Amino acid sequence: MVEKKPKKKKDNEDASESKEKRAERENRFLKNLFIFFGIVLAGFIIGSLAFSEAVEFQYRGVNFTIVEFCDAKPCLKTYNTKLPVLADGKESDYNFYLRNDPRKLEKQVPFNGDLQIPKNVTIDVTYNRICQGYSSVAMDNFGTLMRILNLNVTAEEGLSCGSDINEMQVIVQEGEETKIERIGSACYVIEIKECEVLRGMERFMIEMFVEIKANSI
């Protein structure tokens, strides 16, 4: 009878080959894992940058921040900008929270003419719709902006556009289209269609913010 010799060499080769395959699989797994985490990290960074850009933006030199108030649903989306004010001898920021995106409002509400802000302002408001309280919000914000700028504001019924370059005249009235028209040297007619009062008044306020930023009023 012929005795078979043990196949130690072949077994060692098989074991060595098995280790190589195992190491290759592990390396491939680690490589794929690193690629996966790299993709996740890159997505996180890109997403964070996109979110930051979406939350903060600049419109014609004026900085805005999107702020959402979610005390009630649906959330109220606002566009915040700040103006410096003096309170008790100390400088602080006053926050304005607009309801309309300034970038879209430029296309939605035509503004014919440029804006100048003299110290004296005469206003006549004949627009008298309530519009679920939007009128009060719009007029309160507009009045606050006038006070912060320390303008001399008077109300006058039946106001008509004059030629006094030292006085800004603002007429707010109902119209067939929401738009703003400059007539003469410094008279602005804000026409409001139906309940688009926030659009009309905020469009005018945004032009004031731009003028304030440009001239450091």
Cα–Cα dist 121/158, whole Å: 15
Domain residue spans of the chain: 56-215
* pLDDT number for residue 101: 97
What average pLDDT does the segment 73-100 reach?
90
Among the ranges given (2-16, 114-128, 152-166), the one the predictor scored with the smallest mean pLDDT: 2-16
Cα–Cα dist 29/47, whole Å: 27
Q: Considering the chain, what percentage of its residues have pLDDT values greater than 70?
A: 74
What average pLDDT does the segment 12-23 reach?
61
Which 3-state string (H, E, C) describes 121-188?
A: EEEEECCCCCHHHHHHHHHHHHHHHHHHCCCEEEECCCCCCCCCCCEEEEEEEECCCCEEEEECCCEE
**Residue 186 contacts residue 208 (beta carbons within 8 Å):** no
Task: Assess whether pLDDT exceeds 70 at residue 1.
Answer: no
* pLDDT number for residue 215: 85
Cα–Cα dist 154/145, whole Å: 14
Task: Assess whether pLDDT exceeds 60 at residue 140.
Answer: yes
Task: Assess whether pLDDT exceeds 70 at residue 50.
Answer: no
* pLDDT number for residue 45: 45
Tokens of 175: 């119209």
What average pLDDT does the segment 105-123 reach?
95
* pLDDT number for residue 202: 98
* pLDDT number for residue 139: 96
Q: What is the mean pLDDT of the chain?
A: 84
* pLDDT number for residue 85: 87
What average pLDDT does the segment 91-112 reach?
96
Q: Is the pTM of this model over 0.85?
A: no
* pLDDT number for residue 173: 97
**pLDDT digit string (tens) for 176-208?**
999 999 998 899 999 999 999 999 999 999 999
SS3 state at 109: coil
- Of 74, 209, 203, 196, nearest to 135 by C-alpha is 196
